[in-house]
Amino acid sequence: MYQALALKLTIVFVGLVMAAFIYVAARAGRRREYAEVQTRAYRIRGYWFWLLVLLGTPVMLYTMTRLPYSLAAQQAGQAQTVRVTGHQWYWSLSQDSVAAGRPVVFEVTSADVNHGMGIYDENMRLVAQTQAMPDYINRLAYTFKQPGDYRLLCLEYCGVAHHNMSAVLHVTAAGVH
């Protein structure tokens, strides 16, 4: 849903930028005094600045609240923790089952090279991702809304068997775990 809205907004904004470029290109042949053009350009730039601030700030604040990376749930003590280690060419998970509706904090690292851990739902849509790096733990918080089997796939080429690097995380109905 949000991706479709983002696509539509992107098309509208790119169209507006293209229209502005066409307008400027069409008027480029006219000669005017620099002082007149400069004064008008500064005024237009000021309007655009405040328009972008007034529109961009609420959009930024709204979209930032939709990110799945908050660790507030972990600090509240209600999160499930899954330790994930990437190896050439498999994932090891501290547990392979979590409950839907409760936050899950993935503590992700690598035993050898960089890996990209992507979590895919049953329709193979990417729902969350992070990097797995040697000697570093990335924490990814995500709440699964639906029970089912989610696949962990490697998103970064890590060697000849990269395509086989997967694991399954079973998400059970709330209270069944």
- Tell the burial category of 172 from Cβ atoms under 10 Å away from its Cβ (0-12, 13-18, 19+): middle
Q: Can you tell me the distance from the alpha carbon of 173 to that of 103, in angstroms, rounded to the nearest whole number?
A: 13
pLDDT tens, residue by residue, 51-85: 989 998 988 888 877 665 555 554 556 789 999 99
Which residues, 6 or more positions from 92, have their beta carbon under 8 angstroms from its beta carbon?
A: 84, 85, 167
| Token reading at 9 | 């907004």
Superfamily of domain 72-172: Cupredoxins -  blue copper proteins (2.60.40.420)
pTM: 0.61
pLDDT tens, residue by residue, 110-121: 999 999 999 999
Query: Domain limits of the chain?
Result: 2-65, 72-172
